[in-house]
Amino acid sequence: MSLQLPDSGAPTGPDGRRHAPSADRNAEAILAVLRAEAPTGRLLEIASGTGQHAARFAAAFPALLWQPSDLDPENLVSIEAWRRTAAAPNLLAPIALDAARPGWPERYPSEAVLIVNLLHLIPDEDAASVLAQSASALTAGGTLFLYGPFLRDGRPGSDGDADFDASLRAQDPRLGLKDRAWVEAQLLAAGLRPRVVEMPAHNLMFVARRA
């Protein structure tokens, strides 16, 4: 099922690049966390979407080998189009990856994994699988960066988040914002030590390190 999201219908440019306004809005705040944590080595970006973040973030971290990925073949076209225009030789060609489906971590060992605005769009069991597998893809000392809107003690952080959550659940009752405590429990069970950073617009960033 194709979900109706705030950025649905983002136009495709003549060169194949699609543009999601939300990816521009949150980019600087996400970059600030990445800069503070200074990841090195290989970074696997799960659910890269249009590819805007991959192009911008890879250019900001020239020493990081940036691997974008997505489930959706149409997104891979847009990610590749952004890659062609990015001044970032460290940005690899996108790969098709269903991150909820078991079996991929041994193919993509990574010093860092980045996931932006995915978990609320998939059922709990898929979200748990994405987190467990991301954790096992991390090399020793590696870090998972997980950004998005989350519930706090079962409640949305704002009226906007409440509306968004309701619209997702109306489209599919298995979807919707995950609770912060549930996410922390999944990360701990996967052997990571999570820290939570408050982000603009009531979003959260989990920074979870493998021992």
Ligand X SMILES: C[S@@+](CC[C@H](N)C(=O)[O-])C[C@H]1O[C@@H](n2cnc3c(N)ncnc32)[C@H](O)[C@@H]1O
Residues that bind ligand X (CB under 6 A): 5, 20, 23, 46-50, 53, 70-72, 75, 97-100, 116-118, 121-122, 126
Nearer to ligand X, 24 or 141 (CB): 24
- Strands ordered across the beta sheet of 110-116: 95-96, 64-70, 41-46, 110-116, 138-149, 203-210, 192-198
Question: How far is Cα 130 from Cα 126, in angstroms, rounded to an integer?
Answer: 6
Nearer to ligand X, 38 or 96 (CB): 96
Residue nearest to ligand X (CB): 49
| Minimum CB–partner distance for residue 57 and ligand X (Å) | 11
| Minimum CB–partner distance for residue 201 and ligand X (Å) | 13
Residue 197 CB neighbours (<10 A): 16
Nearer to ligand X, 32 or 211 (CB): 32
Output the CA torsion sign for 11, 13, 18, 21: negative
Residues in CB range of 11: below 8 A, 6 or more apart: 18, 19
131, amino acid identity:
L
| Minimum CB–partner distance for residue 30 and ligand X (Å) | 9
| Minimum CB–partner distance for residue 211 and ligand X (Å) | 26
Nearer to ligand X, 33 or 121 (CB): 121
